[in-house]
Amino acid sequence: MADQALIIVDFQNDYFPGGLMELDGIEAAGRNGKAILDKFRAAGEPIFIVQHLFESAEAPFFRPDTQGAELHSDFAPIDGDRLIVKHKANSFQNTQLRQELEALGIPDVVICGAMSHMCIDATVRAAADFGFTCTVAHDACATCDQTFEGTQTPAKLVQASFMAALAFGYADIISTDALLTR
């Protein structure tokens, strides 16, 4: 029985160059996420690939039945991977993710993907609240600039803020290199 599982969140075409919601640093995050995915596959550890599909064709991105909503080719599930389709930011909300992790007896999860300030944040907090020990590969996550009440916050600071918040009681925040060598 495995002690840990990988949860890859929303590495989908709309977040990559040419997509409807390109994220800052997504290509580097994708390369790191792929390296983590390859390690988990080689070790035979459980992998959950999460795909966010909005239910409306009017959605700003991840519209139903579009190329942008499809998983990036590096993250297409293969035999043994589990696909989790969600419609909300939290990968646990109205999905079978929790039940599948618990059925496998998994106590620890490694999480990476996008967007750091939304789906990564929501998924990590939910996982921790459900009792899972969480590790986040910060450089295998990506986000974008944010604006609030006229203040523009660059993606780099959004990323740092959310990783700092998650590190305070929700997850071990480490680099991909540190994860790959442990």
Residue 2 has pLDDT above 80, yes or no: no
Token readout for 24 is 């800052």
What is the pLDDT at residue 20?
97
Q: What's the structural domain count of the chain?
A: 1
- Give the residue-averaged pLDDT of 143-150: 97
| Residue whose C-alpha is closest to residue 135's, from 106, 161, 157, 158 | 106
Beta-carbon contacts of residue 130 (< 8 Å; ≥ 6 apart): 92, 98
The pLDDT tens digits for 10-21 are: 999 999 999 999
What is the pLDDT at residue 39?
97
Whether the CB-CB separation of 113 and 33 falls below 8 Å is answered with yes
The boundaries of the domain holding residue 163 are 4-180
- Residue carrying the six token digits 């075409």: 13
- Give the residue-averaged pLDDT of 109-132: 98
CATH of the domain at 59: 3.40.50.850
Percentage of residues in the chain having pLDDT higher than 70: 99
- Residue carrying the six token digits 């239910």: 55
Rg (CA), the chain: 15
Q: What whole-number distance in Å separates Cα of residue 4 and Cα of residue 114?
A: 20
Tell me the pLDDT band of 1, cut-offs 50, 70 and 90: low
